[in-house]
Structure 1
Amino acid sequence: PITPTTNNFTFLPRICIIIPARNEADFIDTTIKSLLLQDYPGEVNIFVVDDQSRDGTADFAKEAAYTVGRVNQVEVVTGRDLPTGWTGKIWAMEQGVQKALELNPDYFLFTDADIEHHISNLGQLVHKAETEGLDLVSIMVKLRCQSFWEKLLIPAFVFFFQKLYPFAWVNNPKKSMAAAAGGCVLIRKQTLEKIRGLKTISHALIDDCSLAKAVKSQG
């Protein structure tokens, strides 16, 4: 867990948020609004990569930005066809990164299109990365269980994830064990460049842990 902070920054990194989205019309407006209303005082831009949605995901994302009055902070990127050697989500993330690089951000935040972020989430992530000199910071989102099967399976998933990736080992720089939670991953731009970008994990089926492993293996 990340300790709450008053977010008193001496340096305000520029953040580009990358959201891969495919048929996420039901929730993406909530996600966009929660990110636009963060209490982080630095510059934030959001890139929604619409991966050939058929439910108007792009329009809902734009409407959310308009409603909050932050249209200039949100850009919808039209996803291109999947090339050989890439998995779908990582290819969408890559397209967002390439577009965001035009703004020369200090950090990328990779997140999903169905997550409501606490108002202080971004500030706490950046504060932890800056004060502790971390290349990557990730937190596991609180999963809401509604259906019977969700209540049955999700707690088991979290339990076995912690068994498979012991957090004490993951957080120990002397251990090779690496993991991340793909719904919320903050990474320095220079770190992503150091591992040769997302193409390093282009074929991965588990994007978050593969990215964390690539970062940790570089020291």
Structure 2
Amino acid sequence: MSLIAWIALVSCVAWAWLLLGQGLFWRTDQRLPRGSVEPVAWPSVAVVVPARDEAEVLPVSLTSLLRQDYPGRAEIVLVDDGSTDGTGELARALAERCAWRHGGGLPLNVVSPGPPERGWTGKLWAVRHGIAVARGHGEGGTDFLLLTDADIAHAPDSLRRLVAAATSHRLDLVSQMARLRVAGGWERLVVPAFVYFFCQLYPFRWVNRARASAAAGGCVLLRTAAAERAGVPGAIRGAVIDDVALARAVRRSGGRIWLGLADHVDSVRPYPRLADLWRMVARSAYAQLRHSVAVLACTVAGLALVYLAPPLCLAAGVAGGDAVAAWAGGAAWAVMAGTYVPMLRYYRQPLRGAVLLPVTAFLYLLMTVDSALRHHRGRGAAWKGRTYGAPQAVSER
């Protein structure tokens, strides 16, 4: 057989293994656990929202939190992390408007932690401050913490459903992957694949059966007691991919975690240009690879073999009359597209877009390489004026 035929066959075998041996990552049926029973006495919850220059999205996201239909005691702590666009002032105005128009709403406390200390990422520094404020309020502090990003909008019953799931199934961490925005052409091409690749790295079934640890940072309900046992956020203070680090810390301390796709939680942050999506991926891709050149090389080779080889081998096989290369390349491409269909359906996108997954994978390959180049040029994981290199080892407080 030709070299191209061997490459196509290896890719075909790889896809057969991914289809059946990677936790059925391609399925989208991991949603909030069914059979959740609402508690007789609702626990108290503090919603902690780290926010840095988020005035553009707060009118939708924060308003959705203020209007949560939650029967127990709950409050929102918005941590204004050095914003220069009036985030804090807007948050207070939105809370006043919600109280005036709807006769109530969750109470809002806007605080500012000051610049992060050495060794902390800005987000985790803000979360640390928000948790400290929440613990100091009310008798006995708070039972649960909802850690949610400033660009995440929640349906009115979102908090209620999260707490019911956690209490019914005795979970210490419940996380939902928010449905990201897919309004523009580049978003439609890149965003569903972003979630698809995340599911491939951390199959939700494996997470929920204690075979892997991961969370989606946009929406994490965490028992306060579990956070204390795990020593978070101090134990993960320098983590760029903080959601996965949080889940691992909670599981190491004996906690039970759950991760799934969201039906009632949506990201409202727009990514209208390819450059916007590129920055989103590139800021943390190399951190995901532990800042290792060797792991980067293996990742690039793997992406090329699994995602790029099938269509290229099919084309080469057809052009050169190599039946094995054409058949194996086409079969691998068909399996690849088939595993992508459920995610496209979840995002309500045309299923014909599944055949474009190799194009999207090639973009992600370039983004990953660019992430490594940025790191080695000293620009690291950059987000809103802050740049983080590889985290240094720090002791827990």
Query: Which residue does the alignment assign to 2:65?
Result: 35
Cα distance change of structure 1 residues 4 and 118 upon mapping to structure 2, 3 Å threshold: farther
Query: Which residue does the alignment assign to 1:216?
Result: 251
Aligned equivalent of 1:137, options 156, 174, 177: 174
* Residues 1:78 and 2:112 aligned together: yes
Q: In the aligned structure 2, how far is the partner of 1:78 from the partner of 1:36?
A: 19
Cα distance change of structure 1 residues 17 and 72 upon mapping to structure 2, 3 Å threshold: closer
Structure 2 matches for 1:29-108, cutoff 5 A? Answer: 29-69=59-99, 70=104, 73-103=107-137, 104-108=141-145
Aligned equivalent of 1:188, options 223, 245, 250: 223
Q: In the aligned structure 1, how far is the partner of 2:196 from the partner of 2:230?
A: 30
The secondary structure found in structure 2 opposite 1:49 is strand
| Runs of 5+ consecutive residues of structure 2 not aligned to the other structure | 1-30, 255-397
Instruction: Name the amino acid aligned to 1:24.
Output: E
The secondary structure found in structure 1 opposite 2:240 is coil
Query: Which residue does the alignment assign to 1:25?
Result: 55
CA contact (8 A) 1:29 1:63 kept: no
CA contact (8 A) 1:106 1:188 kept: yes
CA contact (8 A) 1:39 1:119 kept: yes
* Residues 1:123 and 2:160 aligned together: yes
Aligned equivalent of 1:171, options 194, 208, 218: 208
> How far apart are 1:117 and its partner, in Å?
0.3
CA contact (8 A) 1:33 1:64 kept: yes
> How far apart are 1:197 and its partner, in Å?
2.5
Q: In the aligned structure 2, how far is the partner of 1:32 from the partner of 1:5?
A: 29
User: Identity of counterpart residues, as a percentage?
Assistant: 42
The secondary structure found in structure 1 opposite 2:152 is coil
| Runs of 5+ consecutive residues of structure 1 not aligned to the other structure | none
Which stretches of structure 1, 4 residues or longer, exceed 3 Å deviation after superposition?
A: 3-8
CA contact (8 A) 1:4 1:124 kept: no
Query: Which residue does the alignment assign to 1:203?
Result: 238
> How far apart are 1:60 and its partner, in Å?
1.2
Provide TM-score, normalisation by structure 1: 0.94
Root-mean-square deviation (CA, aligned residues, Å) is 1.6
> How far apart are 1:4 and its partner, in Å?
7.2
Q: In the aligned structure 1, how far is the partner of 2:175 from the partner of 2:253?
A: 17
Query: Which residue does the alignment assign to 1:153?
Result: 190
The secondary structure found in structure 2 opposite 1:64 is helix
Q: In the aligned structure 2, how far is the partner of 1:6 from the partner of 1:199?
A: 32
Higher share of residues assigned helix: 2
The secondary structure found in structure 2 opposite 1:116 is strand
> How far apart are 1:139 and its partner, in Å?
0.6
Cα distance change of structure 1 residues 101 and 170 upon mapping to structure 2, 3 Å threshold: same
Cα distance change of structure 1 residues 5 and 53 upon mapping to structure 2, 3 Å threshold: farther
